[in-house]
Structure 1
Amino acid sequence: MIEDLREIGRSIIVASLIYIILIILTQNYVVKGKSMFPNLDDGQRVLVNKFIYFRIFSLDNSKIVIGDKFIFGGPKRDEVVVFKSPQLFQKEAIVKRIIGLPGDWIEIKNGIVLVNSKPTSENFGFTSSISFDEKMKVPESMYFVLGDNRNYSNDSRLFGFVSSDEIIGRVWVTYWPFSEFRIFG
């Protein structure tokens, strides 16, 4: 009897530790709108890996300083990320695809996205005939993001660059509806 209680206690402790680790490392998110269609649809639920973009910090005069260097490497082109909305009126997090990295030059001509004057290999979504004639350089610690469904996306074309501080994490898996379960690379 006592051995059974110990085993139950150990199981509860292990389950609690796993739960706490998952809460720290991941976050649930519900996709809102059609801006990422056909890859993510309105109402889909995704699990976001928050730890993947964990940044190196240091102590400076007894203060913790978070740097711009990432332990596992920073966000990469074509990764789907969730970030805090840079728009003041919107409090919910947003999901988009990273197109431009710090230092990249971005242009959009006749619906074709050019990164450093080369067309991107976009086979993941819809493009539009929208042009953005201004050539922009992505500033340090910033990212240029677009929705896959360009015609229905409020993205960096509207609100500008996204700071690395605003990025919550990378979309890791879609888990609901279960019939659309998918692991992102």
Structure 2
Amino acid sequence: MTYKDFFLEIGYWIRTTLVVFACSLLITVFVLQPYEVNGSSMEPTFIGEDPHNKEQEGDRVFIFKTPYLLGSEPKYGDMVVIDSGFSEKRTIIKRLKDSPLIRMIDKTKQDSDSKYWIKRVIGEAGDTLEFIDGYIYRNGVPLAEPYIIDQMVFPFEPVEVPEGHVFLMGDNRNNSYDSRQVGPIPTDHVVGKVSFRYYPFNRMTMF
């Protein structure tokens, strides 16, 4: 192989690598993004990584991002991943930083995986939510929530979800930091809807 052929070969692989990286980045920013569940706030629906038990891995899911980027609103019952930096405007740079490819490069603390929460939509804009006798009422109707193991014991004040927001809770109601503490979540901070659990393999599920 001549020097010219060698450098042509190197140039080909560099171009191929850049194209693959660019395509992967576009997919994870605008279409599908993998996410590893952390913590116990969504148990029993999802098992999260335990920082105190290195042998317990978190469930891994794909989140579908395209509908929300095109203006669709999260619906009651959707399980979503959110960016919890509510004081920061969601710019295109922030959306780029959602990508795990970018997070592998940018190791800053504020953009770590702990910034992303997985929760369930309990209320849409215009809904009134109340806690009465251990049950959550949505617009006067008690919610049927078969995914809950333990009845919620911590009350919250009635709330009407404002426009451009959703009210989110973890399925592990007695061990979840969510809209009961921080209030309704701006919809532009919803990164995507959980669509598929691909790991562990024996619990693969479409949502």
Same fold per TM (> 0.5)?
yes
Shift of 1:52: 2.2
- Match of residue 45 from structure 2: 39
Determine if the alignment matches structure 1 residue 128 to structure 2 residue 127.
no
* Per-residue deviation, 1:181: 0.8
Q: Following TM superposition, by how much is the alpha carbon of 1:110 offset from its aligned partner in structure 2, in angstroms?
A: 3.0
Query: Could you tell me which residue of structure 2 aligns to residue 49 of structure 1?
Result: 64
Gaps of 5+ in 1: 1-11, 56-69
Tell me how far 1:22 sits from its aligned partner.
Answer: 3.3
1:110–1:130 contact (8 Å) kept in structure 2: no
- The number of equivalent residue pairs is 156
TM-fit CA distance, 1:117: 1.4
Q: Is the contact made by 1:86 and 1:159 (CA closer than 8 Å) also made in structure 2?
A: no
More helix by proportion, 1 or 2?
2
**1:26 to 2:32 alignment:** yes
Task: Name whichever structure is richer in strand by fraction.
Answer: 1
Within 5 Å, give how 1:31-110 maps onto structure 2: 31-42=37-48, 43-55=58-70, 70=71, 73-86=72-85, 92-110=115-133
Tell me by how many angstroms 1:176 deviates.
1.3
Uncovered stretches (5+) of structure 2, i.e. residues with no partner:
1-15, 49-57, 88-108
Distance, in Å, in 2 between the alignment partners of 1:74 and 1:83 is 13
- TM-score (norm: length of structure 1): 0.75
SS in 1 for 2:82: strand
Measured against aligned partners, the alpha-carbon deviations of 1:27-78 in whole angstroms (never above 9, x if no partner) come to 11111111111111111111110112123xxxxxxxxxxxxxx2xx321100
Q: Distance in 2 between matches of 1:160 and 1:77?
A: 16
Identity %: 34
Stretches of 4+ aligned residues off by more than 4 angstroms:
15-21, 86-91
Separation in 2 of the partners of 1:49 and 1:39?
Answer: 18
The residue type equivalent to 1:136 in the other structure is V
Q: Note if contact 1:81-1:168 (Cα within 8 Å) is conserved in structure 2.
A: yes
Deviations, residues 64-108 of structure 1 (Å, cap 9, x unaligned):
xxxxxx2xx321100000001146797520000000000110111
TM-score by length of 2: 0.68
Contact 1:145 1:155 in 2 (8 A): yes
**Aligned amino acid, residue 163 of structure 1:** P
Q: Distance in 2 between matches of 1:104 and 1:84?
A: 22
Whole-angstrom CA distance in 1 between matches of 2:119 and 2:63: 12
Tell me, yes or no, if structure 1 residue 152 matches structure 2 residue 167. Answer: no
